[in-house]
Copies of this chain bind each other. A is one copy, B any other.
Protein backbone atom coordinates (compact mmCIF):
# COMPACT_ATOMS: atom_id res chain seq x y z
CA UNK A 1 0.00 0.00 0.00
CA UNK A 2 1.19 3.49 -0.84
CA UNK A 3 1.89 5.69 2.14
CA UNK A 4 2.77 9.39 1.99
CA UNK A 5 4.97 11.74 -0.03
CA UNK A 6 6.44 15.17 0.61
CA UNK A 7 7.19 17.96 -1.84
CA UNK A 8 9.39 21.01 -1.39
CA UNK A 9 10.53 24.09 -3.27
CA UNK A 10 14.03 25.54 -3.38
CA UNK A 11 15.99 28.42 -4.87
CA UNK A 12 14.69 31.53 -6.59
CA UNK A 13 10.97 31.18 -7.20
CA UNK A 14 9.18 31.43 -10.54
CA UNK A 15 5.72 32.24 -11.81
CA UNK A 16 4.92 28.54 -12.28
CA UNK A 17 6.81 26.57 -9.62
CA UNK A 18 3.49 26.33 -7.80
CA UNK A 19 1.92 24.72 -10.87
CA UNK A 20 4.53 21.96 -10.52
CA UNK A 21 3.55 21.49 -6.87
CA UNK A 22 -0.09 21.32 -7.96
CA UNK A 23 0.90 18.66 -10.51
CA UNK A 24 2.74 16.55 -7.92
CA UNK A 25 -0.24 16.79 -5.55
CA UNK A 26 -2.80 15.98 -8.25
CA UNK A 27 -0.94 12.95 -9.62
CA UNK A 28 0.16 11.59 -6.23
CA UNK A 29 -3.48 11.54 -5.15
CA UNK A 30 -4.42 9.85 -8.45
CA UNK A 31 -1.75 7.23 -7.78
CA UNK A 32 -3.27 6.40 -4.43
CA UNK A 33 -0.88 8.03 -1.96
CA UNK A 34 -2.50 8.85 1.38
CA UNK A 35 -1.07 12.22 2.22
CA UNK A 36 0.86 14.72 0.17
CA UNK A 37 2.87 16.86 2.55
CA UNK A 38 4.49 20.17 1.71
CA UNK A 39 7.77 21.04 3.37
CA UNK A 40 7.87 24.60 4.61
CA UNK A 41 10.92 26.51 3.34
CA UNK A 42 12.40 23.47 1.60
CA UNK A 43 14.94 21.12 3.11
CA UNK A 44 15.86 23.77 5.68
CA UNK A 45 12.35 23.66 7.18
CA UNK A 46 12.03 19.92 6.64
CA UNK A 47 15.09 19.35 8.83
CA UNK A 48 13.13 21.14 11.55
CA UNK A 49 10.14 18.89 10.91
CA UNK A 50 8.06 21.62 9.32
CA UNK A 51 5.48 19.98 7.07
CA UNK A 52 1.86 20.64 6.22
CA UNK A 53 -0.84 18.34 4.79
CA UNK A 54 -1.66 19.88 1.40
CA UNK A 55 -5.25 18.57 1.48
CA UNK A 56 -5.99 21.62 3.57
CA UNK A 57 -5.39 23.85 0.55
CA UNK A 58 -5.71 21.65 -2.52
CA UNK A 59 -8.45 19.09 -1.86
CA UNK A 60 -10.88 21.62 -3.33
CA UNK A 61 -10.12 21.81 -7.11
CA UNK A 62 -10.43 25.61 -6.88
CA UNK A 63 -7.33 25.47 -4.67
CA UNK A 64 -5.34 23.95 -7.54
CA UNK A 65 -6.64 26.59 -9.97
CA UNK A 66 -5.64 29.42 -7.62
CA UNK A 67 -2.27 27.80 -6.94
CA UNK A 68 -1.55 27.74 -10.69
CA UNK A 69 -2.13 31.52 -10.66
CA UNK A 70 0.06 32.20 -7.61
CA UNK A 71 3.68 33.25 -8.21
CA UNK A 72 6.68 32.54 -6.01
CA UNK A 73 7.05 29.52 -3.72
CA UNK A 74 3.69 28.73 -2.08
CA UNK A 75 5.46 26.40 0.36
CA UNK A 76 8.30 28.82 0.99
CA UNK A 77 11.76 28.40 -0.48
CA UNK A 78 15.29 28.24 0.89
CA UNK A 79 18.88 28.51 -0.29
CA UNK A 80 20.22 25.63 1.77
CA UNK A 81 23.31 23.85 0.51
CA UNK A 82 23.51 20.18 1.53
CA UNK A 83 26.93 19.40 3.01
CA UNK A 84 29.13 16.66 1.55
CA UNK A 85 27.81 13.26 2.67
CA UNK A 86 31.12 12.18 4.16
CA UNK A 87 31.41 13.62 7.63
CA UNK A 88 27.80 14.86 7.60
CA UNK A 89 25.91 11.56 7.55
CA UNK A 90 23.82 12.85 10.48
CA UNK A 91 22.14 15.48 8.28
CA UNK A 92 21.20 12.88 5.66
CA UNK A 93 20.09 10.41 8.29
CA UNK A 94 17.90 13.04 9.90
CA UNK A 95 16.05 13.57 6.64
CA UNK A 96 15.52 9.82 6.29
CA UNK A 97 14.36 9.67 9.91
CA UNK A 98 11.80 12.48 9.44
CA UNK A 99 10.55 10.72 6.30
CA UNK A 100 10.23 7.45 8.24
CA UNK A 101 8.44 9.11 11.16
CA UNK A 102 5.87 10.52 8.80
CA UNK A 103 5.62 7.37 6.66
CA UNK A 104 6.92 9.27 3.66
CA UNK A 105 8.06 7.08 0.75
CA UNK A 106 9.18 9.79 -1.65
CA UNK A 107 10.62 13.28 -1.41
CA UNK A 108 10.02 15.58 -4.41
CA UNK A 109 12.16 18.67 -4.73
CA UNK A 110 11.39 21.43 -7.23
CA UNK A 111 14.27 23.66 -8.17
CA UNK A 112 17.23 24.39 -10.42
CA UNK A 113 20.83 23.20 -10.56
CA UNK A 114 21.56 23.48 -6.85
CA UNK A 115 18.29 21.82 -5.86
CA UNK A 116 18.90 18.92 -8.25
CA UNK A 117 22.23 18.45 -6.49
CA UNK A 118 20.27 18.03 -3.24
CA UNK A 119 18.13 15.33 -4.89
CA UNK A 120 21.24 13.62 -6.23
CA UNK A 121 23.01 13.55 -2.87
CA UNK A 122 19.95 12.35 -0.98
CA UNK A 123 19.40 9.53 -3.46
CA UNK A 124 23.11 8.67 -3.36
CA UNK A 125 22.96 8.44 0.44
CA UNK A 126 19.83 6.29 0.33
CA UNK A 127 21.43 3.98 -2.23
CA UNK A 128 24.70 3.72 -0.31
CA UNK A 129 22.92 2.91 2.94
CA UNK A 130 20.29 0.61 1.47
CA UNK A 131 17.27 2.80 2.30
CA UNK A 132 14.02 2.25 0.46
CA UNK A 133 13.07 5.96 0.32
CA UNK A 134 13.07 7.56 -3.12
CA UNK A 135 13.96 11.08 -4.27
CA UNK A 136 12.68 12.86 -7.34
CA UNK A 137 13.55 16.16 -8.95
CA UNK A 138 11.01 18.55 -10.42
CA UNK A 139 12.58 21.04 -12.85
CA UNK A 140 12.18 24.74 -12.16
CA UNK A 141 14.28 27.73 -13.12
CA UNK A 142 13.70 30.99 -14.91
CA UNK A 143 17.39 30.73 -15.91
CA UNK A 144 16.61 27.89 -18.38
CA UNK A 145 20.09 26.49 -17.78
CA UNK A 146 19.33 22.89 -16.83
CA UNK A 147 20.89 20.44 -19.30
CA UNK A 148 19.16 17.65 -21.27
CA UNK A 149 15.66 19.22 -21.10
CA UNK A 150 14.57 21.31 -24.13
CA UNK A 151 13.69 24.14 -21.75
CA UNK A 152 12.79 24.58 -18.07
CA UNK A 153 9.39 25.26 -16.52
CA UNK A 154 9.51 28.86 -15.29
CA UNK A 155 11.57 30.16 -18.19
CA UNK A 156 8.70 30.63 -20.61
CA UNK A 157 6.64 32.83 -18.26
CA UNK A 158 9.67 34.95 -17.43
CA UNK A 159 10.33 35.25 -21.17
CA UNK A 160 6.73 36.35 -21.78
CA UNK A 161 7.04 38.96 -19.01
CA UNK A 162 10.36 40.21 -20.42
CA UNK A 163 9.15 40.32 -24.02
CA UNK A 164 5.98 42.20 -23.03
CA UNK A 165 7.78 44.65 -20.74
CA UNK A 166 10.58 45.37 -23.22
CA UNK A 167 7.95 46.10 -25.85
CA UNK A 168 6.19 48.52 -23.51
CA UNK A 169 9.51 50.17 -22.61
CA UNK A 170 10.36 50.62 -26.30
CA UNK A 171 6.89 52.05 -26.97
CA UNK A 172 7.35 54.50 -24.09
CA UNK A 173 10.82 55.57 -25.16
CA UNK A 174 9.82 56.00 -28.81
CA UNK A 175 7.13 58.50 -27.89
CA UNK A 176 9.69 61.24 -27.36
CA UNK A 177 11.13 62.41 -30.63
CA UNK A 178 13.53 65.11 -29.56
CA UNK A 179 16.84 65.48 -31.35
CA UNK A 180 18.62 64.05 -28.31
CA UNK A 181 17.54 60.44 -27.88
CA UNK A 182 17.19 58.69 -24.52
CA UNK A 183 19.34 55.61 -24.13
CA UNK A 184 17.52 52.97 -22.07
CA UNK A 185 19.57 50.09 -20.69
CA UNK A 186 17.49 47.22 -19.32
CA UNK A 187 19.15 44.77 -16.95
CA UNK A 188 17.87 41.21 -16.94
CA UNK A 189 18.63 38.29 -14.59
CA UNK A 190 21.01 35.48 -15.54
CA UNK A 191 24.30 34.99 -13.75
CA UNK A 192 26.12 32.77 -16.25
CA UNK A 193 23.52 31.91 -18.86
CA UNK A 194 21.90 34.57 -21.04
CA UNK A 195 18.61 32.78 -21.72
CA UNK A 196 16.48 35.40 -19.96
CA UNK A 197 18.26 38.29 -21.63
CA UNK A 198 17.81 36.61 -25.01
CA UNK A 199 14.05 36.80 -24.40
CA UNK A 200 14.31 40.57 -24.91
CA UNK A 201 14.54 39.69 -28.61
CA UNK A 202 10.93 38.47 -28.53
CA UNK A 203 9.71 42.09 -28.46
CA UNK A 204 10.53 42.50 -32.13
CA UNK A 205 7.64 42.11 -34.52
CA UNK A 206 5.49 43.83 -37.16
CA UNK A 207 4.52 46.40 -34.52
CA UNK A 208 7.91 46.83 -32.79
CA UNK A 209 11.44 47.40 -34.03
CA UNK A 210 12.80 45.53 -31.01
CA UNK A 211 15.93 46.02 -28.94
CA UNK A 212 18.87 47.78 -30.58
CA UNK A 213 21.44 45.50 -28.96
CA UNK A 214 21.40 42.54 -26.59
CA UNK A 215 24.41 41.50 -24.51
CA UNK A 216 24.64 38.01 -22.99
CA UNK A 217 27.18 36.68 -20.48
CA UNK A 218 28.15 34.00 -23.03
CA UNK A 219 30.25 36.67 -24.80
CA UNK A 220 33.01 38.76 -23.24
CA UNK A 221 31.85 42.36 -22.81
CA UNK A 222 34.05 45.04 -24.32
CA UNK A 223 33.27 48.52 -23.04
CA UNK A 224 34.89 50.33 -25.98
CA UNK A 225 32.91 48.34 -28.52
CA UNK A 226 29.76 48.93 -26.46
CA UNK A 227 30.32 52.69 -26.38
CA UNK A 228 30.99 52.77 -30.13
CA UNK A 229 27.71 50.93 -30.67
CA UNK A 230 25.81 53.32 -28.38
CA UNK A 231 27.23 56.38 -30.14
CA UNK A 232 26.36 54.97 -33.56
CA UNK A 233 22.79 54.18 -32.46
CA UNK A 234 22.32 57.59 -30.83
CA UNK A 235 23.43 59.26 -34.05
CA UNK A 236 20.95 57.34 -36.20
CA UNK A 237 17.86 56.73 -34.02
CA UNK A 238 15.44 58.72 -31.84
CA UNK A 239 15.02 55.91 -29.33
CA UNK A 240 17.66 53.42 -28.23
CA UNK A 241 16.84 50.43 -26.01
CA UNK A 242 19.56 47.96 -25.05
CA UNK A 243 19.19 44.77 -23.01
CA UNK A 244 22.06 43.46 -20.88
CA UNK A 245 22.43 40.44 -18.66
CA UNK A 246 23.32 41.14 -15.02
CA UNK A 247 26.11 38.62 -15.57
CA UNK A 248 28.03 40.33 -18.38
CA UNK A 249 31.74 40.59 -17.65
CA UNK A 250 34.88 41.98 -19.18
CA UNK A 251 37.90 40.03 -20.43
CA UNK A 252 39.50 40.14 -16.98
CA UNK A 253 36.53 38.19 -15.58
CA UNK A 254 35.07 41.16 -13.66
CA UNK A 255 31.30 41.63 -13.70
CA UNK A 256 30.31 44.97 -15.27
CA UNK A 257 28.26 45.66 -12.12
CA UNK A 258 31.47 45.42 -10.08
CA UNK A 259 33.08 48.24 -12.05
CA UNK A 260 34.09 51.04 -9.74
CA UNK A 261 35.06 48.65 -6.96
CA UNK A 262 31.55 47.74 -5.71
CA UNK A 263 31.66 44.72 -3.38
CA UNK A 264 28.75 42.39 -4.09
CA UNK A 265 27.00 40.36 -1.35
CA UNK A 266 27.37 36.56 -1.52
CA UNK A 267 24.66 33.92 -0.87
CA UNK A 268 24.82 30.48 0.81
CA UNK A 269 25.98 28.84 -2.43
CA UNK A 270 28.80 31.36 -2.79
CA UNK A 271 27.07 33.13 -5.68
CA UNK A 272 27.50 36.90 -5.81
CA UNK A 273 24.24 38.87 -5.68
CA UNK A 274 24.49 40.82 -8.92
CA UNK A 275 22.79 44.09 -9.80
CA UNK A 276 23.64 47.59 -10.93
CA UNK A 277 24.98 46.64 -14.38
CA UNK A 278 22.50 48.89 -16.20
CA UNK A 279 23.02 51.87 -13.91
CA UNK A 280 26.80 51.49 -14.16
CA UNK A 281 26.56 51.51 -17.95
CA UNK A 282 24.17 54.48 -17.91
CA UNK A 283 26.61 56.42 -15.76
CA UNK A 284 29.38 55.75 -18.25
CA UNK A 285 27.20 56.67 -21.26
CA UNK A 286 26.01 59.91 -19.65
CA UNK A 287 29.54 60.90 -18.67
CA UNK A 288 31.03 60.21 -22.09
CA UNK A 289 28.22 61.49 -24.33
CA UNK A 290 25.96 63.77 -22.27
CA UNK A 291 22.99 61.79 -23.58
CA UNK A 292 19.94 61.24 -21.38
CA UNK A 293 19.93 57.69 -20.04
CA UNK A 294 17.56 55.49 -18.09
CA UNK A 295 18.50 52.25 -16.33
CA UNK A 296 15.73 49.73 -15.77
CA UNK A 297 16.02 46.49 -13.78
CA UNK A 298 13.24 43.90 -13.90
CA UNK A 299 14.47 42.54 -10.58
CA UNK A 300 12.15 39.96 -8.96
CA UNK A 301 9.22 41.06 -11.14
CA UNK A 302 10.53 38.91 -13.98
CA UNK A 303 10.26 35.75 -11.90
CA UNK A 304 7.05 36.66 -10.04
CA UNK A 305 4.94 38.13 -12.87
CA UNK A 306 2.28 35.44 -12.85
CA UNK A 307 -0.36 37.92 -14.01
CA UNK A 308 1.12 37.43 -17.47
CA UNK A 309 2.37 33.86 -17.22
CA UNK A 310 2.54 31.63 -20.29
CA UNK A 311 -0.23 29.04 -20.41
CA UNK A 312 2.19 26.71 -22.21
CA UNK A 313 4.53 27.10 -19.24
CA UNK A 314 1.81 26.57 -16.63
CA UNK A 315 0.72 23.38 -18.35
CA UNK A 316 4.26 22.05 -18.78
CA UNK A 317 5.08 22.81 -15.14
CA UNK A 318 1.95 20.99 -14.01
CA UNK A 319 2.68 18.00 -16.27
CA UNK A 320 6.30 17.86 -15.08
CA UNK A 321 5.04 17.61 -11.51
CA UNK A 322 2.65 14.85 -12.56
CA UNK A 323 5.38 12.94 -14.43
CA UNK A 324 7.57 13.03 -11.36
CA UNK A 325 4.77 11.68 -9.15
CA UNK A 326 3.91 8.97 -11.67
CA UNK A 327 7.53 7.79 -11.80
CA UNK A 328 7.69 7.72 -8.01
CA UNK A 329 4.57 5.58 -7.91
CA UNK A 330 6.37 3.14 -10.21
CA UNK A 331 9.17 2.88 -7.66
CA UNK A 332 11.72 4.96 -9.56
CA UNK A 333 14.25 7.25 -7.91
CA UNK A 334 16.92 9.85 -8.70
CA UNK A 335 15.17 11.11 -11.82
CA UNK A 336 13.97 14.45 -13.16
CA UNK A 337 11.32 14.96 -15.85
CA UNK A 338 12.77 16.56 -18.99
CA UNK A 339 10.83 18.28 -21.77
CA UNK A 340 11.36 16.81 -25.25
CA UNK A 341 10.26 18.90 -28.23
CA UNK A 342 8.61 16.42 -30.55
CA UNK A 343 7.34 18.85 -33.14
CA UNK A 344 7.95 22.50 -33.90
CA UNK A 345 4.87 23.35 -35.95
CA UNK A 346 2.51 22.58 -34.41
CA UNK A 347 4.53 22.85 -31.20
CA UNK A 348 4.39 19.61 -29.28
CA UNK A 349 6.40 18.73 -26.19
CA UNK A 350 6.58 15.34 -24.49
CA UNK A 351 8.05 14.46 -21.11
CA UNK A 352 10.80 11.93 -20.48
CA UNK A 353 12.59 11.06 -17.26
CA UNK A 354 16.34 11.45 -16.93
CA UNK A 355 18.99 10.41 -14.39
CA UNK A 356 19.54 13.26 -11.95
CA UNK A 357 23.31 12.60 -11.97
CA UNK A 358 23.57 14.02 -15.50
CA UNK A 359 21.68 17.16 -14.48
CA UNK A 360 22.85 18.30 -11.04
CA UNK A 361 25.34 21.16 -11.15
CA UNK A 362 25.53 21.28 -14.96
CA UNK A 363 24.71 24.68 -16.50
CA UNK A 364 23.56 24.91 -20.11
CA UNK A 365 24.61 28.18 -21.77
CA UNK A 366 22.88 29.82 -24.73
CA UNK A 367 24.33 28.01 -27.78
CA UNK A 368 26.37 29.82 -30.43
CA UNK A 369 23.67 29.53 -33.08
CA UNK A 370 21.34 31.71 -30.98
CA UNK A 371 23.81 34.63 -30.81
CA UNK A 372 24.61 36.85 -33.80
CA UNK A 373 28.20 37.00 -35.05
CA UNK A 374 28.79 40.52 -33.71
CA UNK A 375 28.00 39.17 -30.23
CA UNK A 376 25.29 41.70 -29.42
CA UNK A 377 22.21 40.28 -31.06
CA UNK A 378 19.92 37.25 -31.07
CA UNK A 379 19.29 35.07 -34.12
CA UNK A 380 16.10 33.93 -35.79
CA UNK A 381 16.95 30.39 -34.61
CA UNK A 382 16.43 31.51 -31.00
CA UNK A 383 13.09 33.13 -31.86
CA UNK A 384 11.93 29.87 -33.46
CA UNK A 385 12.97 28.05 -30.31
CA UNK A 386 11.35 30.51 -27.89
CA UNK A 387 8.16 31.74 -29.58
CA UNK A 388 6.08 28.59 -28.97
CA UNK A 389 7.00 28.73 -25.27
CA UNK A 390 5.27 32.06 -24.61
CA UNK A 391 1.99 31.17 -26.31
CA UNK A 392 -1.25 31.34 -24.37
CA UNK A 393 -2.30 33.05 -21.17
CA UNK A 394 -3.80 31.85 -17.92
CA UNK A 395 -6.05 34.79 -17.04
CA UNK A 396 -5.77 35.64 -13.33
CA UNK A 397 -8.74 35.43 -10.99
CA UNK A 398 -9.27 39.15 -10.24
CA UNK A 399 -10.61 40.15 -6.82
CA UNK A 400 -10.90 43.88 -6.01
CA UNK A 401 -9.10 44.60 -9.28
CA UNK A 402 -5.95 42.58 -8.49
CA UNK A 403 -4.91 38.98 -9.23
CA UNK A 404 -5.86 36.63 -6.41
CA UNK A 405 -3.22 34.31 -4.91
CA UNK A 406 -3.34 31.22 -2.72
CA UNK A 407 -1.43 31.72 0.51
CA UNK A 408 -0.30 29.14 3.07
CA UNK A 409 -0.79 30.55 6.54
CA UNK A 410 1.87 28.23 8.01
CA UNK A 411 4.48 30.25 6.12
CA UNK A 412 3.95 33.06 8.60
CA UNK A 413 3.99 31.06 11.86
Contact = CB atoms under 8 A, between A and B. Distances in A.
B400 A387 contact: yes
Interface string A396-413: 001111111111000110
Interface stretch (A26-34, A299-307, A330-338): A299-307
A177 interface: yes
Contact of A297 (B78, B175, B297): B297
A391 interface: yes
Contact of A76 (B177, B207, B275, B300): B177
A179 B213 CA distance: 41
B303 A172 contact: yes
Interface stretch (A103-111, A112-120, A161-169): A161-169
A200 to B, nearest CB: 12
B294 A168 contact: no
A385 interface: no
A156 to B, nearest CB: 9
Interface string A265-305: 10000000101100100000010000010101101110111
Given A72-B175, A176-B77, A402 B169 contact: no
A172 B71 contact: yes
A401 B391 contact: yes
A387 B44 CA distance: 39
Contact of A405 (B178, B208, B300): B208
B207 A406 contact: yes
Contacts of A164: 307, 402-403
Contact of A176 (B79, B203, B238, B275): B79
A2 B393 CA distance: 45
A177 B41 contact: yes
* Most B-side CB within 10 Å, residue of A172, A205, A275: A172
Contact of A172 (B13, B165, B276, B400): B13
A109 B160 CA distance: 34
A350 interface: no
A325 interface: no
Interface string A34-72: 000000110011000000000000000000000000111
Given A168-B300, A296-B299, A390-B400, 11 more contacts: A41-B176, A41-B177, A78-B176, A79-B178, A168-B304, A202-B400, A207-B405, A296-B297, A387-B400, A390-B402, A393-B398
Pick the 8 closest A-B CB pairs, nearest first: A390-B401, A73-B175, A168-B304, A172-B304, A72-B171, A41-B177, A172-B300, A77-B175
